[in-house]
């Protein structure tokens, strides 16, 4: 009887572990939901109360940043507890569409596009189009990631293989993190800086949105950071994380912007450096056959 009771308790604990990653994903959804609400509230007072709008925009940016933290933790917790499930993967992707797709779009529109351009102008229409394309690229990026993770051998020829250490294309959370860190760095709406500067900065933001969309559907490699902290030098990793965490607390506006820009740009630099490396023009199989014949 005691053995059966122990088995029952063990099974109950095991089933309870499956709730933990889902709870982090739910927190991710909650942060995206709050970010959308804060963005809408800030846009309502962007003309009458720029300071109040800046506060709402900053709250929205921080919410997206916390969502990135929860999104990182749910995957790590699922792998540590061995509770990763197919429904968890799909739930996480749907949460990412909201938190890192719709939420940053609402924030950037309220902070930059809608605050800088007239609703009936061609610039406003172009900004809305670019935001829509960002969302489409992000959704496509998530769909491609799910397909590569579940059916890596069925992919078309020429598609990069699944690499646990690297992502193919810019993941959507860092893309949203860059936009959120930009707003967190300067939360006042662009219209606060005057019409001329507002339009100029809005054009730069639109270019950034287009670049992020292209990077998400590209085949550039980005480090997944999944192996961080799994080696023998865990102590050094903990010290680095602690130092970065303290810097974030003290200088969050600068540190978060530097980290997000660094991650988004490292894939481009990685590609440039790999392209500059000399490669042999002769295929490896041909060289082996020549050696065998000789």
**Per-residue pLDDT tens digits of the chain, which is 294 residues long:** 445 444 444 454 555 566 777 888 899 999 999 999 999 999 999 989 999 999 999 999 999 999 998 888 877 776 676 666 677 677 888 889 999 999 999 999 999 999 899 889 999 999 999 999 999 999 998 888 877 766 554 444 455 455 567 788 899 999 999 999 999 999 999 989 888 899 999 999 999 999 999 999 998 888 877 655 555 556 676 777 778 778 888 888 999 999 999 999 988 998 888 888 776 544 444 443 443 344
Find the helix or strand (DSSP H, E) in which 81 lies: helix 50-81
* Strands 221-223 vs 166-168: parallel, antiparallel or unpaired: antiparallel
Question: In terms of Cα–Cα distance, which of 64, 69, 65 is closest to 34?
Answer: 64
Domain around 178: 2-293
The burial class, CB within 10 Å (0-12 / 13-18 / 19+), for 292 is exposed
Integer Cα distance of 5 and 25 in angstroms: 32
What phi and psi, each to the nearest 5 degrees, are found at residue 166?
-135, 150
- Residue 159 DSSP code: S
- Distance, in Å, from the CA atom of 294 to the CA atom of 285, rounded to the nearest integer, reads 14
CB-based contacts of 61: which residues, under 8 Å, 6+ apart? 35, 107, 180, 181, 183, 184, 187
Tokens 């993770």 correspond to 149
Structurally, the chain folds into a number of domains equal to 1
């Amino acid at each position: 009887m005691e053995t059966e009771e122990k088995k029952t308790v063990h099974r109950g604990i095991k089933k309870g572990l499956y709730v933990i990653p889902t709870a982090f994903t739910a927190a991710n959804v909650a942060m995206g939901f709050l970010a959308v609400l804060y963005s809408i509230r800030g846009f309502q007072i962007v003309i009458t109360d720029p300071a109040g709008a800046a506060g709402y925009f900053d709250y929205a940016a921080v919410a997206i940043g916390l969502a990135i933290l929860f999104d990182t933790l749910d995957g790590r917790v699922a792998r540590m507890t061995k509770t990763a499930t197919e429904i968890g993967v799909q739930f996480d992707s749907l949460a990412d569409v909201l938190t890192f797709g719709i939420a940053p779009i609402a924030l950037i529109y309220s902070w930059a596009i809608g605050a800088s351009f007239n609703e009936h102008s061609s610039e406003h229409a172009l900004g809305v189009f670019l935001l829509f394309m960002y969302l489409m690229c992000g959704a496509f990026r998530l769909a491609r990631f799910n397909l590569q993770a579940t059916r890596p051998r069925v992919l078309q020829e020429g598609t990069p293989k699944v690499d646990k250490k690297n992502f193919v294309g810019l993941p959507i959370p860092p893309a949203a993190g860059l936009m959120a860190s930009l707003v967190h760095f300067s939360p006042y709406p662009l219209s606060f800086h005057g019409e001329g500067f507002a339009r100029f900065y809005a054009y730069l933001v639109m270019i950034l949105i287009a670049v992020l969309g292209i990077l998400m559907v590209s085949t550039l490699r980005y480090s997944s950071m999944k192996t961080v902290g799994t080696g023998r030098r865990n102590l050094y990793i903990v010290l680095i994380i602690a130092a970065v965490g303290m810097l974030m607390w003290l200088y969050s506006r600068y540190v978060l912007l530097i980290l997000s820009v660094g991650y988004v740009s490292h894939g481009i630099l990685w590609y440039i450096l790999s392209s500059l490396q000399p490669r042999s023009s002769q295929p490896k199989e041909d060289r082996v056959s020549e050696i065998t014949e000789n």
